[in-house]
Structure 1
Amino acid sequence: MAGEISDHPAGFLAGIDREAHDWVVFFAGGDAGPADLDAFRQWSAQAGYTEAFARACRLWEAVGPASRQMTGADAPEQIVHIGRRAFIGSALAVSVAATAYVGARSPLGLWPSWSELAADYRTAPGEQRRIALSGGPSIELNTRTSIALRASTHGGAERVELFGGEAAIVASPELHRAIEVAAGEGRVTAVDATFNMRYERDVVCTTCVAGALEVAFGNRSADLRAGAQVAYSGSGLGKVTMVDVGLVTAWKAGILVFRSTPLADAVAEINRYRSGRIFVTNAALGRRLFNARFPIANVDGVVAQIQQVFGASVTTLPGGIVLLG
């Protein structure tokens, strides 16, 4: 019946797009085998079907946290419960973003959130940018990062809001201005420090590279010295741990480093630096540990490395879509 929304999580979509949505959910679940990939190749060979899969990937990226819930242990039940509302809302967001950014961004890049539309500085996939604030701290933006400059406090502190992504920040007494960086529901304050902040998947992780700083979240705070790291999210402020700051800041040298990293996690990181999307379609492959060091400028070359190391099958589709199985 016209206008009726079915029980399918993407029931508001046309038939071809609904099928594409099902393929994206299936691949993201990591349960595809050789027969499934053959079936997908036959399906996508039909006129217009690869484009429909690209649209579904774009919508999947826009869903964000809901998409991650849909690939949990109870995925079949959760997809029906969460999927329809999440995808309807996301479809509207994607439509608005597409109107503003069509032709300027890859069709499979992450569309900006509403807050990111107000950013003063943004970086595209794979782009890095350095910003020197007038008479104050310097900020280096990593890939897919958005920030806004806010009015300084009465004490003269430079105020910045990190909407998402990753930034390396330097504050020094010689610059005669402290810095306060807000991200999510927390903030970092520093007078003499070099630090790295990463805001991904609703988690803000701060690493002190040199000097000292304060991380505040709610009614709790943590003081960090060089080599210390702490994260906060909706569940609260975590424990302070010691980390290898060289690994955390390797991106500044244009390098990605993985040490015994589950392949699924490594691919999620790699996807931040490229347009399109790599799917690990096999859960067992996604759990394999990956060790690698390679230039960000050659990020697409990692697919061949994964194929060689793990003997993975590779299916390459238009729009930067790669299936690893």
Structure 2
Amino acid sequence: MQLLFAELEAPAKALRAEHAGDAGPTPSRNLHSANVNRRKRLLVRIPAAVAASLLLLAGVLQSDWWQNRQADYHTVAGEQRRIALADDSTVVLNTDTALKVSLQANQRRVELLRGEAYFQVAHAAERPFWVIAGDTRAKVTGTEFAVKRAAAEVSISVAEGRVETSTVRNTDPILALAPGQTAVYRDGRAAGLEPVDLSRSLAWQQGRIVFVQTPLAEAVEELNRYRGDKLVLTDPALARRPITAVFAVDRPDDAVSALEQTLNVRARRLAGFWVLLG
């Protein structure tokens, strides 16, 4: 996606540079003609990049569609859903999440195909509760914890009880998590065990997204999970700007307005699919 957005932004930057050049002395007829031709070529590139982006978007939507077909439960962007399982456990699905459930006599198994979920597991020592997210898995007999799967990264955060995490291939040692701890796995390998601020990481259950000195690029990635269209940073210098803010998950455009006011950026809507911030 980043390469795609670069394709969209490159011609726009060139056009802005030309407009800046036009503010100087009047060029000769030949130079003016060359500039006109150059602008035409640049404007042709924008629809081409948009067409390519639509194809990529179609691929993403098709992937989500297939996961939804496999899932027993799923949510769309901006939706949250509470599910009561047959074993008296409860699962809360966050935005854009797909979940597959298999409850058997000797074990309970849930597969997180994408997204984020919070589990309140009914105690049953003889029936361990497994959550599988890609190559990462968590095992409990009764506790409360959250699992988030995004691209090649999986994080598991514990609110109550004890959770054992490992990889499907068993190449890493089992990590035992206590309340207030999170385990992060990247590309199927353990990346670390660290403390977690549950009031922030689980704020979505109260309908809030909390950022504290979060780089804007990371904040945009998180906000995009709740939006039908997508925010795109067109100015790389903005990516590292830290923000501290609280946004409501059901009012995504409030975040755009706040970013415009606090960071002095302009939001431009493109083709109904993206909001360019720069």
TM over 0.5, shorter chain: yes
Structure 2 equivalent of residue 304 of structure 1:
257
Structure 2 equivalent of residue 231 of structure 1:
184
Structure 2 equivalent of residue 283 of structure 1:
236
Q: How many residues matched?
A: 252
1:185 and 2:185 matched: no
* CA positional deviation for 1:34: 8.2
TM-score (normalised: structure 1): 0.69
Maintained 8 Å contact 1:137/1:175: no
Aligned runs of 1:91-106 on 2, under 5 Å?
97=62
Structure 1 equivalent of residue 6 of structure 2:
25
* CA positional deviation for 1:113: 6.2
Code of the residue aligned with 1:257 in structure 2: it is V
Q: Aligned equivalents of 1:195 and 1:23: distance in 2?
A: 36
Structure 2 equivalent of residue 149 of structure 1:
101
Structure 1 equivalent of residue 30 of structure 2:
none
* CA positional deviation for 1:280: 0.6
Distance of aligned partners of 1:113 and 1:25 in 2 relative to their CA distance in 1, 3 Å threshold? farther
Maintained 8 Å contact 2:73/2:100: yes
Maintained 8 Å contact 2:135/2:188: no
Q: Aligned equivalents of 1:261 and 1:224: distance in 2?
A: 25
* RMSD value, Cα: 3.2
C-alpha distance after superposition, 1:37-92 (max 9, x if no partner)? 989xx99xx9xx77x76654444456xxxxxxxxxxxxxxxxxxxxxxxxxxx5xx
TM-score (normalised: structure 2): 0.79
SS of the equivalent of 2:252 reads: helix
Code of the residue aligned with 2:16 in structure 1: it is A
SS of the equivalent of 1:223 reads: strand
Structure 2 equivalent of residue 209 of structure 1:
159
Structure 1 equivalent of residue 109 of structure 2:
159
Higher RCO structure, 1 or 2 (CA under 8 Å, sep 6+) = 1
Q: Aligned equivalents of 1:185 and 1:221: distance in 2?
A: 13
Distance of aligned partners of 1:279 and 1:208 in 2 relative to their CA distance in 1, 3 Å threshold? same
Q: Could you tell which deviates more after superposition, 130-139 or 234-243?
A: 234-243
SS of the equivalent of 2:237 reads: helix
Code of the residue aligned with 2:72 in structure 1: it is D
Aligned runs of 1:34-183 on 2, under 5 Å?
35=16, 55-61=51-57, 90=59, 97=62, 111-112=63-64, 114-152=66-104, 154-155=105-106, 157-173=107-123, 178-183=128-133
Code of the residue aligned with 1:242 in structure 2: it is P
Q: Could you tell which deviates more after superposition, 172-181 or 234-243?
A: 172-181
Structure 2 stretches lacking a partner, 5+ long? 21-38
Structure 1 stretches lacking a partner, 5+ long? 1-20, 63-89, 98-110
Between the aligned residues of both structures, percent identity stands at: 30
Q: Aligned equivalents of 1:282 and 1:33: distance in 2?
A: 14
Pick one of 252, 273, 292 that aligns with 2:205. Answer: 252
* CA positional deviation for 1:174: 7.5
Structure 2 equivalent of residue 321 of structure 1:
274
Structure 2 equivalent of residue 200 of structure 1:
150
Maintained 8 Å contact 1:135/1:175: no
SS of the equivalent of 2:87 reads: coil
Structure with bigger gyration radius: 2
